[in-house]
Each structure stands twice: as structure tokens, then as C-alpha cells.
Structure 1
Amino acid sequence: MLTAKEFLLVSRLILHLNSQSPEPPFSRTANYLESPEAQGNGGLFFREEGFWNYTTMLLREDLNMLILGARDAIFALDLDDITAKKAMVNWSVTEQQQKDCVSKGKDATNECKNYIRILHKNKDGSMYVCGTKAFNPSCDNLSYANGTLNLQKKQEEGKGKCPFDPFQRYSSEMVDGALYTATATNFRGLEPVMMRSTDEIIRTESTSAWLNEPNFVYMAHIPEGESNPEGDDDKIYLFFTETAVEYDSYTKVDVSRVARVCKGDLGGQRTLQKKWTSFLKARLDCPVLNINLPLLVQDMFHMCQGDWTTCVFYGVFTLQLDSAQYSAVCAYKIEDIKTVFSESKFKAPFTVETSFVKWAMYSTELPDPRPGACIDNHARKKGFTKTLDLPDKTLQFIKDKPLLDQAVSAIGKRALLVKSGTAFTRIVVAIATALNGRRHHVMLIGTKSGSVMKAVNYEGEMVIMEEIQVFEPSEPIKILRLSNTTLYVGSEVGVAQLSISECGRYHACLDCVLARDPYCGWDLNTGRCSTIDSTHRTSTMIQSLSAGDASQCPPIGGSKSDNISFFHGNTVKLPCQPYSNLAKVHWQLNGQPIRPSDTFQILSDSLMIVNASAEADGHYTCSSVEGKYKAQHVAYDLKMWSGPGTTAFLSDVKEKENTLVAMVVILSLILAMLVIWNLYKGHLPLPCCHSRVKDTTNTCGDERFSANQAQQQKVASSTVNMNSNNNYANIQRCSTETDRLSTTVGSSGQISLRYIDDESEI
């Protein structure tokens, strides 16, 4: 049996041996040759502490500023560097407005705030701004002067201009000083309207035939009246989704729509007074194979490369089912949209079996002028110079039947891009001029996961050049704005600024050419990937967008091998990044292709060797393969570590580990025996008892305490008997030859245990 002193010595010896155990030279998972830090996208980020919802933007290129609307504030940021805040103005709700909002059942923290939703430039250079104002929308004018943003504090009613609900979709456009909006006009959000706010307000009819539970997406002004041979008017196009009235279904089916009104519409004289006489709508078709339900438009963007006849609308679409993430991009020519609105037949409601209403094609002769048409040369010849002159027969028809029978087809009658596993949210399109002078539309697509995809369509072939993670996953992108080659990305948490013509990320000729980025080309003189502009259009530059031909690139020699040693049982990771997004990696071991197995796991950017053994020794090569091009990236020589003394070292480590295990077992047994022996002798009380297990034969009945001893007993009693209310507990302290520990009370009142050095066995 060990004495207490020997027990302490053994414990210290075990701890000392454990602290001297050697550290293995490699961890169990080896990650070789990874770059020390990830390459960022070189973007800039802005966020003001305490503010959220950076989802409304106005590009003021005349002021070189980005006007940013958030919750309770408006910011003016430098257009070249959004981290430079030039000015800001707070526009929050009053305490009474918040109380009124809460009393109507809304949430004080999230809903009863002022979310900036409308930002447009006025003719005089000031800005028109509207906010939800705690479910009481208001508008004001905003100016920037002398480095300061100022609200004029002449607030006006925002009903019909700005949504009540900050989380409800809406759209707006400022055209020649008139504000066009599509939103809900009541607190509950159940009265949708498309409205023009002027001295004489013009709006839609409040019937489901016009707008049936819509979700507004995008609005655009197309100046069709400029140099139009038919003398037609400018158009305002509205893209939205709504519950379809034309489908026979037991459940509601939503569809994508495009509607349009004429800028010069003044309403009717008797029928449709102060209502649109030119409101027409048609279904927007974005066909995807094996998808039966119509896809729903989430955002649109239009661009024109000349007059209005060249305009193209690009839209992102998603499935109706929330359980599946499936997205597409479709494009539409303005000419095709105009043809549908001017030539398509109408749909009309017919009563079936006295109660059920079915919408079907209207085949009867139409009134003249054509219902929904703008005032053009044909109408003027008949004496109709404004919409107030139109006959009631034409107006009554459009009041009851604004839906067209023909759908607007996408370019090529198919989607440009279809992608599964990703939910698209926003889109903008840039124009890039290639080395050969040809112009390409570069699509920049925001996703629900917080990334931006960059894609181009080359003669029917869609190429996704890159995908940049801008925000943390699950932080959706809410807005995209483009100025030249700079992209501004907004979300709930902040705003990012990215360059879409950054070519420095391509480090090799194959990488640069096979990426097929219209902004970039490989310069043979400088040996780098450069942005194609007026200074870099030389004969020494290489670019191949449609074919992806990299045959002009200089030949690439074999990579120098890196020697790597590993321990038996290691998991080894060998990195290999492909040259472009379209390339695949090809691994070989000693000249033979590596096939996936339990040992070899081939990832998109690396090779994992699990539980490596001596059989993993050899020469590894990784090549990037895209089409007919194959280029070796990296090479590795792997060998299991077998240096001098390795066997003896491993044996010594194993022997010490076994020794430690044995000593831990022995120590556990000794501790168990000590506990049992002390319980038997009464040195340790049982949990259920407050007295000693076994009384000793001699007791101490004398109560010979000095004043100092009494004070010591007071401290001891307060420690031992926590339930005693006496100042001095009557404690019997029995001293026998079996006691091996004495109690010492220090000056501080703390009790310590002192070891009694004798040779008695415990």
C-alpha cells in the first residue's frame, strides 16, 4: 500500500511523463500547398452601424454619387469608392407614429419604421423620395448642396406612390416629371393599383380583371413616340405576376405578365373617367423543358443600343414551388412585345352553367379604334386626337376585357440560361466590346444565396464565366445597379461595389482565353491578362469568345514536382485549381488515370488521399482539360516518411503511450482503494451522514479554548456547518493516532490541510 507522500510522487511522475510526450511531425490531415490566404474579389463594402435594408438606389453620375435609401436614413456615397460617405440624413418615424402603427397590429421593431422605397431625380436636379413611414407612406423632396443632404420637410401623402408594407414588392418610374407607380393603396395591401401622379391622377380599375393579386416587379419607359412612322405614343411597361383568371384549375396558378399604358393617356370622358384607357396585359412566356407550371418573373432589366426598336428586356424567373430552386433567364425583344399588344386577339369572360366564369378567346369583330391602342395617326384620321374623345364602345370593351390572348414569346422561344440549385433574384446587363469590335451582352445575376453570376450568350451557347460570393450565404441580393463597368449590390446588411472588368484574376494564357470573358484578352508582350480597351487593342492580344480557341497561347511546360512526405495513415490533400470555370481536372498516378475509390476522392479543386499507405507512393500530375486543350497544372512526388531512426522513434512513442496507459490504470485502482479505506476508517463522511463512520476510543471533553482558539473555531464552524445560526458551534475535535491530517486556520480565515509526515500505513 502506498503512503500519501508516495501517492503524490507517483501522480507528479505521471504528469511529467505526459508533458514530455513528443508531438507528431504531421497532423492526421495534411493540407499541402494551399495559398496562405484566399484571393478576394477586390470589392468595397459599406454599412452604417445601426441601419439596415440597403435596397433603394439612385445613380447620380452628374454628382458622382450613389444615393442610397435604407431604413430610417438616406446616404450619399462616392460613386468611385462607396466606403467614402459624403453625407447622410436621418428620416425616422416619430414616437406617436410608431405607437399608432403598433396599435394596428404591426411589429414595432421591424415594420413600424421608415423604409425608403422611392428615389428619383427631378428636372431641377433635386430628388423625390418616399418612405413607408410606419405604414403611413409619405413623400418629400431631397437636395444635395455643400456636402449636405437636406429634406425640404414638405411631406405629402404617399398613398398610391409608396407601399404601406415595407416587405411588399412595388415598382416606380419618373417620366417627364410625372411619377408612375405600381403598389397597394391601402393599409392591408389588398387594393393594387398602377397610377400616374399628376394634377389629374390616372389609375387602373379596381377589378380582378385588371389586377388579380399582383406582385409588382419592374417598370420601364420606352420612348416609342420618337420618330415613329405611325405617330404612336411613348409607352410605360409594367412587369408583374398575378393569379391567372384564364386557367381551369382547382388551385390558384400564378403567371408572369407584362402590361402597358400610353404616356399621353388622359382617361375617358364618361366611361373610365380618370382611369387608363390604354391598359392592356399579356402573359409572359419563359419556356423550360419538363416544367409544366409557368415560371414567375422576379426581376427585369432593359437595354437599348440605339433607338427604341433595339431594346431588349432580360428577366430572371423561378419556379412557383418554394421547395425547389430552379431558375432561368429569358430575353424579349420590344418589337415582339409591341406586336402582341397591337395584333393579338383578346380574352373575354363567359359564364358557364350560370355561375362558373371561363375566359376564352374573343373572336367577334373589335370596335374601332382598337381597344387599348394609343392615339396614333389612324385615330387622328378618325377625329380622335386624345383619349377623352374615344367612343364609349371602345372604352367599355377595354374596361371588361384588358387581357390579350397571345403570350409574349422569349427570343428563340427558349430560355437563355437554366440553372438548378440556385434561386435568381435580380439582373442587370452590361455591354462589352470584344477585341474584334463585336458587342456582347454580359448578364450579371444576383442570387438568393448572396452571390453574383457573370454570364454571356455566344450564338446560343451560354457561358458562365464566374460566380462571386458577395454576402454571406442565405443573405439574398435585393438590388443591382450598374454604372459603366462598376456594379453596386444591395442587401439587408450592406452594399458592395464590384468591378465587372477585372482581368487580373486570370494568371495564365489558357486561363484568360478559355474563360471567354469579353472584357479580357491575353497580351503576348506583357505576358498578362489585360482589360480590352482603346489602349490594348493590339495585334499581340489573344481572345477567342465563340470558339474558345487557345491554340495561339504559348506552350506550357510540365510543372516542377513538389516532394511531399507523409506518415502512414495520413489523409493527404493535393490542391489543383482548373484554369477556367468550364475546365475539369484530370489526375494521374505514375502516368495512369486515377479513378475515384475509397482511397482516392477527386474533388473539383483537389485530390484527397484517405488513410494513405505505402501504396500511395508515386508521381502525381494534375491537368486542366477543356475541350481539346489540356495543360498540366501541378505535379507531386509522394513518399511515405521513412527517415533515419523512424522505426525506433515510432517504437519509443508507442512504448511510452503504453506505459502511460498502464500507469493511469494503476493510479485509478490506487485511488479507489484509498477511498474505500478512508470510508472504512471514518476519515471521509458518507454523503448521507454528518458524523464520523466509526468513533474513536478517546474523546476530547475538555473545552479549554483560549480567545484566539475560540475565534478559530468560529471560522471552522462557519465552514463545516453551513446550516448553523450560532456564532460559536460546539464542535468536538477528536485526536487519535489514526488521524493523519491536521487543520490549520490562517490569518485570512482560510482552512488548509497539512500533511503529517510519519511512516504509518494508510
Structure 2
Amino acid sequence: MAFNVAFNALYLVLCTAFGAAEFGPAPRITWHLKETNLMHFHVSGISNYSTLLLSEEKDVLYVGAREAIFAVSSLNVAEKLHEAYWKVSDEKNNECAWKGKSKQTECLNYIRVIQPLNDKTLYVCGTNAFQPTCDYLNLTDFRLLGRNEDGKGRCPFDPAQSYISVMVDGELYSGTSFNFLGSEPIIFRHSSQSQLRTEYAVPWLNEPSFVYADVIRAPANNPEGDDDKVYFFFTEVSVEYEFFSKLLIPRVARVCKGDQGGLRTLQKKWTSFLKAKLICHSSENNLIFNVVSDVFILKHSDSSEPKIYGVFTSHLNNVGLSAVCAYNVSTVEEVFAKGKYMHSATVEQSNTKWVRYNGEVPKPRPGACINNEARAMNYTSSLNLPDMTLQFVKDHPLMDDSVSPVGNKPKLVLRDVIYTQIVVDRVKALDGNSYDIMFLSTDKGILHKAVSQDAEMRIIEEIVLFPHLQPVQTLLLSNKEGKRFIYAGSNTGVVQSPLAFCEKFTSCKDCILTRDPYCAWHPVKRSCVNILQDSTADGSLIQKLNGDASQCPDSAEIQKSMKHTVKSRSTVELKCSQKSKLANLVWQFSNKTLKAELPKYHLLEHALVIFNITDHDAGIYECVSQEEVGNIKVSQVLIKHVIELEKVPTTLKSTAHPYTQTEAKSQITTIPAKVLDFSTWKKTTAQILTSPVAFTSVSAKIQESTTPLTEMHSKVPEVQIEKAMYLTKPSDCSLLIFLVLLFGLLFMILLVYNCYKGFLPNWCLRIRTFLFSGKQKAPPDFPDCEQGVKENLVESKLTPSQYDDTQKIPHDTGYETELDYGNGTVPHTGKTDEDQPFDVKCDLKYADSDGD
């Protein structure tokens, strides 16, 4: 047995090391903030909106934030109704800071508990600078009563610590930490009659992280006479086995509502506390999800069995995977009622600490609620249970059997997504079947809506809730008939979202293809409606969750059309946007599929680019969306683009108008001279210039004409005046002329500058010398300069200096003199003065330098 447990633990660590394929479905549609216009609630200077409580009877949503409690309308969270502030005193703030906590963040009052006590009072608790305190909020005037009860066991000390709470029949059940350091976890019940808690022992709770708590009522008139039970869900460090690091295990724990504690053993402690391991394992991909992030218990009004939905992540493989597993409550109850217990044991050469207990189990069964079987044995309360049963519960709170999910596999596994919260709604579709709709929030501020149908999990859509990709800290679902919303709280505010966006689908096929159980096509209104809100359909709504859109009327298809008039040899971009990520876009031209390839076509994500358009490219282009749903392929035209070529005016050709040069001249000479003013001359010239005839001696002929102007217009061939004006318009060449003049000016400036500096050939130097002839000095002759230097050196040697004792050091000429080589290894040959080298000191003046 020990070997099997150790093997399972090893498998838990190593099985996730194998590669995994692509996981999970992709969201079909993404709704961004600008598309949804969701309602937001936020108060300046207030943060951490992490506690939500909904009163469906009053249509009020209560929001607990940092040092503030708000009441907003549940129909529009942007409408604030009331507010109450609960701030920390300066004394407590300083005391908290003295203990080493942050004065600006940790040493404040974070509202962590908001639970209804009665119709007029809320029970609220806050961290209160690491001194948890509880108070009562009067809903009549929305003011705190100021009782300030000790909140230990009901509210955490540290705002970063996990916590859960639920109010059951006026009694508060909570899971949190009981001390300042957070080292004493506790599941606590606070009531005026009895206060119970868990045993402070590692087998009971070992560093738990609480995520959810709720009550499940026992069925009325059940044959076992069972009690109501409160379930707690958390992740804790394993006590069964350990390796080089702590191994996290997801747990479900249960206590009975009627538990009163033991009389001697387990005094003021739970006598019905048991816990078991939750299994969320994907055998197809060898992945185990061992951290539970959130849980939601779906309770049905038809008194059917509740179902538990849990969101899990993997602490072992760390590859960014999330999973959703569903459990039947009956499966959990069977583990607690009939499962084997575990007990502590020492096994040599093994990492296993706890093994299955195979010994005798005392009666009544340890951890069971007081039911008909216990009453038959004269045990009507936990206070009179035998010590043997209570001692067994104290030593064996952990069950050996695990809780397996429905279908023994996750309902959903998704990569690169970290789910934080979950709520589930059940809706009855038009086909008569009921579907569980899961709303899953992420650490990026996004909400996924998923549904399981025919063993297939689909993500219908994803909704962006917050603009800055912040984690969703709490999620709440409204079940009120006709007023159903999702409320999400984060560090910066609260967002209200509808359950569906049916009205955004403008065609019947779009409405059907979304396969949303909330949505159906209304053929009379010609719109997509929510079946829970539209009660005037009278059975005429169209809803096919298999994606079959064959029943959609053709008249319901609304097609957009765009017309493009382009020039020949130009480029045009045809845009087409598709919301569905599961559909493919296909372009059709003249009712034939277009093969979009370069160099003629370039296909973009949301557009088609056509290059070098000719007459053959004119026509109708259709953007078609094709989406496969099972074995059905649904196609619909999203938009039509009509391309027409711009009609370019052409000049008059001689073949069309066979006028001769003589006829043209005779027509021109019929223009009277007296009516040819400037405007007439300009217009007539433009008309004449466009005619393919000769224009020699036109002015002379015009002066001799006496024919009326109207007669001339009737004889002159019709030409395109606009085209002529376009050709003769001087502004068309203005840019070219400007560029030519600019480059010419720059060239002249560069030429003059180089000529001035002497960087150009001799002809430029001559011009420059001529311009600066009065200032330029003649360059010295190099041989004369050298001869002068020689004479000066000879005279300096023959003429004695007034400083005879000082030898004059000659200039460095670059040659090796007698003094130089005398100090070296070259022997002296005794040459005369005439053979010795001499220094040349001459100021050279170049022809291109400026003279002084």
C-alpha cells in the first residue's frame, strides 16, 4: 500500500513533464470595451473592490472596498445609492506600522466580509490594520453601529491572506487565519449559541488557501434524515507524502450544520470535519491540475442534484494551463459516507507519511452527521457521541478515497490562460434541453463564456471587462428573472455585463452560428434576441445549436455594398471584417473563387489589395465567410465591393472626324474679330488646341472672319474642354519647375563656393585670380628661396657670434647631420662643410591661398 501511494505521488510530479499538444477551443468572438459599453463603478481614491453581495429582492449590489462600503443599483452599477466609510484610526495605523507592516497599504481597513444578517442589517468585517474587527451596518440609514467586535477567526489579519465566508441561518461560517502571523488556519463558525473551530493540527489544515464556501441543503423528507452541510474548498500542502518541495493538493472539506462539538473530546471543535482530495486529471495529455482557484456550486430549482464546478491550475508543470472540472455532490457524499480513512504511519525508506486505515471503524461512523441511523442508536446530538468516535475523527480527518470528476476528465483544458473565478448558469434552450453556461474570468481582466454540448466544449465568446488587463478578484451572478447580469470586481472597480450580446448579430446566420443557448433569431423583428427577455416570440424564434442555418430566410440577410471608382493602373484595397475567429474568409470575383496571389493580389487579415487595375479587374468582388460546424459548412456574404474604372476623356481622332487642314482653317476664319475678347480667346484656343489640325497663321485668319460665333460652334467638332484645360493647366508643372530651379540654384552655389576655395580646375583658378588680382601676392620661386637659405647658413658659420661659447643648433631638416650620426655607430668620414646638409626654411605660398 505504501508503495502504491508513493508511486502515485511520483506520478503526480513526473507525469506533467511530457510535452502537451494544443489544448482547448479558441473563443469564437472577442468583444472589446468599445463594442460593449459595459457599466462601470469606481470612486476616486478607493481601491480593492473585492467583496460583493447581491440583494435580488431590493435590486441592490453591496460592494466592499478599502475603507468603504457602497450600495449601487444592480440594474446599473454606475448608479451609486449609498456609501459608508470605515477608516483606521491613527493610533492603530501607527501601531501596525511599528510591527513592520506598510503604513500606506497593509495598515488600512480592507472590507473582507459582507453577509446579510436580516432584512435591515448587514454583518461586515475588515482587517482594520491587522486587528480584524466586525460591525453591523444599518441599511435604513446606511451607517455602521460602531459595536466593533473582535473579528479573529471571521476575518483575516493580512489583506493578502485568503479567506472565505458564508452566512447560514444567521450563523457565519468562515475560513481564514487566526493569528497575526497567519500560521494558524481555521474553519470557524460564529453564532450566539455555539462557536466551533477546527483542531489546531497539521492533519486538519496544513497551510490552506481558501477559495469558496457554501451550504447544500438536505432534501426535504429524505429517508436518511440527514443534516444540511457546509462545504469548504481550498488548496493545502500535502500531508500524505512530501518530496524535495511542498506538494499542493486541492481539497474539499465538510461540516454538519447541526454540529455542537464534543462533550469531553473535541470540546468546541468540529466533530463532523472530514476532508478529501479533488481529482482533476487529463489522462489524454498526462496532466494533473493540483491547485483549485475557485469553485461554484450550481443549485437547481427543480430539486435535482447540485453540481460542483471548480477552476484548477497546475503547480507542477508551470506551463500556463487551466482546467475546469465538474463533480456531483453525491460523489463527494459517497466518499465521506463510505470511503476509507487515512492514518499517520512511519514507513521506512519511504516519503509516505499517511496510509490507508484498514482497521475497525467505530460506530456511529466518525464524521457523519446525526441521521436516522445515529438516532436509532440513541445519539441525537454530537454532544453525546462516544469518545471513541470523536477520538477517531480527531486522528483521522483525511479520507483515502478521492473525489473524481464527471466523466473522469476535465470539461475544459485551455493553454496560456489563467482562470481566477467561475460562476455557472443553467438555461433551457428552445430544443427543450438544459445547458450549463460557464462564465470564467482570467487574470487579464477577460471573461469567457463556455458551454458543453454533445461532449464538446465550446467557448462562445470572450469579453474584455477591464481596460488594463487586471485580475478579476470576484465574480457574481444574478439569477433574477429578466434581470440577469454578471458582476466582476477588481482592484480598480466593478463591472456589470449582460449574459449575452444577442443584439449585436445583425443577420440570421450570424445569430445561428454563435450557437448561444441565450440567443435566437426573431423573423418578425429581423433581429437576434435573448430568449429569456423576449416573451413575444410565440414559438416563431429560430435557434439551432448545431449551427444549421438552413431555416434562415433569404430576406433576413443584410449585405453591405461598397462602390469604388478607380483609375487605370492604380491600386485599391477592399476591406472585409469578420468577427468569428473560427471562420475563413474567401474572396469571389464574378461568382468564382479568387486565387489571391502576388503580384496581382495581396491578401491581408481584413482586406484584399489589388494592384495594377485594368479593365479585366472591374466587376463585383464578394467577401464570403465560411465556417464549419460539425459536418455542416455555412457560407454567407459579408460585403460586396463593386470596382469601376474611371472614364478617361480621349482626344478627337482623325478617323472619327475626317477633317482636313483646309476645312479646319475655313472654320476657324469664321470667328468675328469683334467678339474675341480675352475670355473668348482663351476658351476658343483651348478648344482649338485639342483638335488634330494645323494651327499656322491662326491669328491672321481670325481677324478676317465675319461669321457669327454661334455658327462657329456649330461647325467646330465637339471636343473635351475639361481635358484640354487639364492638359494646358500651368499648375500641373509648377512642382517640377520649382524642383528644377531649386536644384539649379544649389548647383550654382556649390560651383561658386568650390571655385572660391580653389577646388576646381585651372580655368576656375584663372577667374578667381582675376577677381582677387589686387589682393593676391605672387608666389615665391622655390629655387631662389632655397639658395637664399644656403647663403644665410654660410654667412652664419663665417661670422663669429657674440656668444662664441654657445654652439648654434641647426634646424631639424629631416636629414641626419654630423652631430646626429656622431653619437651613433656610423663612423665620421671627415667631410667638408660644403658636403654637409643644410636646413631649408621657406614660406611657401600657394596660388589658391589668400595673400595678406
- TM normalised by structure 2 equals 0.69
Could you say which residue in structure 1 is the equivalent of 2:172? Answer: 179
**SS state at 1:352 partner:** coil
Q: What 5-or-longer segments of structure 2 have no aligned partner? A: 1-31, 650-722, 759-852
621 and 377 in structure 1: CA distance in 2 versus 1, 3 angstrom threshold: same
Q: Structure 2: which amino acid aligns with 1:486?
A: F
Q: Does 1:575 align with 2:582?
A: no
**How far 1:499 moved relative to its partner?**
1.6
Aligned to 2:525: 526
- One-letter amino acid of the structure 2 residue matched with residue 219 of structure 1: A
Residues 236/331 of structure 1: CA separation in 2 closer, same or farther (3 Å cut): same
Shift of 1:600: 6.9
Spell out the pairing of 1:180-195 with structure 2 (5 A cutoff). 180-195=173-188
Determine whether 1:562 maps to 2:556.
Answer: no
- Equivalents in 2 of 1:404, 1:56: separation in Å? 32
Offset from partner CA, 1:99-127 (integer Å, 9 cap, x none): 11111111122211111110010135310
* Residue of structure 2 equivalent to 1:629: 634
Judged with a 3 Å threshold, the aligned counterparts in structure 2 of structure 1 residues 108 and 530 are, in CA distance, closer, same or farther, namely: same
**Corresponding residue of 1:216:** 210
1:598 to 1:62, Cα distance in 2 relative to 1, 3 A: farther
**Which amino acid in 2 is paired with 1:265?**
D
Q: Is the alpha carbon distance of 1:227 and 1:654 closer, same or farther for their aligned partners in structure 2, counting shifts above 3 Å? A: farther
- Report the structure, 1 or 2, having the larger strand content: 1
Match among 40, 60, 69 for residue 65 of structure 1: 60
Matched, 1:275 2:269: yes
Check 1:382–1:418 CA distance in 2 against 1; reply closer, same or farther (3 A cut): same
Q: Secondary structure at the match of 2:398?
A: coil
Distance 1:74 1:592 in 2: 61
For the structure 1 residues 292 and 498, does the alpha-carbon distance in structure 2 shift closer, same or farther, using more than 3 Å as the test?
closer
> Which one of the candidate residues 82, 85, 90 is aligned to 2:80?
85
Task: Note if 1:153 corresponds to 2:146.
Answer: yes
Instruction: State the match for 1:714 in structure 2.
Output: none
For 1:256, which of 250, 255, 259 is the aligned residue? Answer: 250
Partner of 2:443: 448
CA distance in 1, matches of 2:41, 2:507: 33
Q: Distance in 1 between matches of 2:197 and 2:421?
A: 27
Do structure 1's residue 351 and structure 2's residue 346 form an aligned pair? yes
Partner of 1:743: none
Q: Which residue of the partner structure matches residue 513 of structure 1? A: 512
1:231-250 equivalence runs, <5 A: 231-250=225-244
C-alpha contact 2:576 2:638 (8 A) present in aligned 1: no
What does 1:226-375 align with in structure 2 at a 5 Å threshold? 226-288=220-282, 289-306=284-301, 309-320=304-315, 324-353=319-348, 357-375=352-370
**Distance between the aligned counterparts of 2:386 and 2:338, measured in 1?**
20
* Partners of 2:159 and 2:745 in 1: CA distance: 68
User: 660-669 or 482-491: which moved more?
Assistant: 660-669
- Rounded to whole Å, the distance in 2 between the matches of 1:77 and 1:38 is 21
Structure 1 stretch 151-160 or stretch 276-285: which is displaced more? 276-285
SS of the counterpart of 2:287? coil
Q: Find the aligned partners of 1:671 and 1:65 in 2 and give their Cα distance.
A: 84
Separation in 2, partners of 1:225, 1:539: 35
1:450-599 equivalent positions in 2, closer than 5 A: 450-483=445-478, 484=480, 485-533=484-532, 535-545=535-545, 547-555=546-554, 556=557, 560=561, 562-563=563-564, 565=566, 572=573, 574-578=575-579, 580=580, 582-588=582-588, 591-594=592-595
Per-residue deviation, 1:655? 7.8
- Structure 2 matches for 1:87-126, cutoff 5 A? 87-126=82-121
Pair 1:538–1:269, CA change in 2 (3 A): same
Find the aligned partners of 1:490 and 1:293 in 2 and give their Cα distance: 29
Q: CA deviation at 1:608?
A: 5.9
Write out per-residue CA displacement over residues 380-418 of structure 1, whole angstroms, 9 at most, x where no aligned residue. 112221112222222222212211112111112222222
- Name the counterpart of 1:377: 372
Alpha-carbon displacement from aligned partner over 1:328-352 (angstroms, at most 9, x marks no partner) = 2221111111111111112222102
What is the identity, as a one-letter code, of the residue corresponding to 2:215?
Answer: H
Q: Measure the CA separation in 2 of the matches of 1:248 and 1:602.
A: 56
Q: 8 Å contact 1:160–1:184 — kept in the other structure?
A: yes
How far residue 364 of structure 1 moved from its aligned partner, in angstroms, is: 2.1
Query: Alpha-carbon deviation of 1:299?
Result: 1.0
Taking structure 1 as reference, are residues 126 and 581 closer, same or farther at Cα in structure 2, changes over 3 Å only? farther
Percent of residue pairs bearing the same amino acid type: 39
Following superposition, the deviation at residue 157 of structure 1 comes to 0.4
Equivalent position SS for 2:379: coil
State the structure with more CA Rg.
2
Rate the CA distance shift 1:531–1:393 in 2: closer, same or farther, 3 A: same
Equivalent residue letter for 1:68:
V
Contact 1:515 1:582 in 2 (8 A): no
Which one has the bigger helix percentage?
2
Residue 208 (structure 1) shift: 1.6
Report the residue type matching 2:233 in the other structure.
F
**Would you say the 8 A contact 2:261–2:269 is kept in 1?**
yes
SS at match of 1:629: strand
1:204 aligns with 2:198: yes
Distance between the aligned counterparts of 2:180 and 2:485, measured in 1?
A: 38
Aligned residues: 634
Match of 2:716 in 1: none
Q: Secondary structure at the match of 2:142?
A: strand
Cα distance change, pair 472–662 in 1 and its aligned pair in 2 (3 A): farther
Indicate conservation of the 8 Å contact 1:515/1:581, yes or no.
no
The within-5 A match list for 1:20-35 is none
1:434 and 2:429 equivalent? yes
- What one-letter code is carried by the residue in structure 2 that aligns with 1:490? G
For 1:69 and 1:383, the matched residues in 2 are separated by 46
Judged with a 3 Å threshold, the aligned counterparts in structure 2 of structure 1 residues 452 and 652 are, in CA distance, closer, same or farther, namely: farther
Query: Contact 2:33–2:465 at 8 Å: present in 1 too?
Result: no
- CA distance in structure 1 between the partners assigned to 2:752 and 2:415 by the alignment: 64
Q: Structure 1 residues 562 and 322 mapped into 2: Cα distance closer, same or farther (>3 Å)?
A: farther
Alignment of 1:125-144 (within 5 A): 125-144=120-139
Contact conserved, 1:465 with 1:581, CA < 8 A, in 2? no
| Secondary structure of 1:541's aligned partner | coil
SS of corresponding position for 2:510:
helix
Determine the structure 2 residue equivalent to 1:757. Answer: none
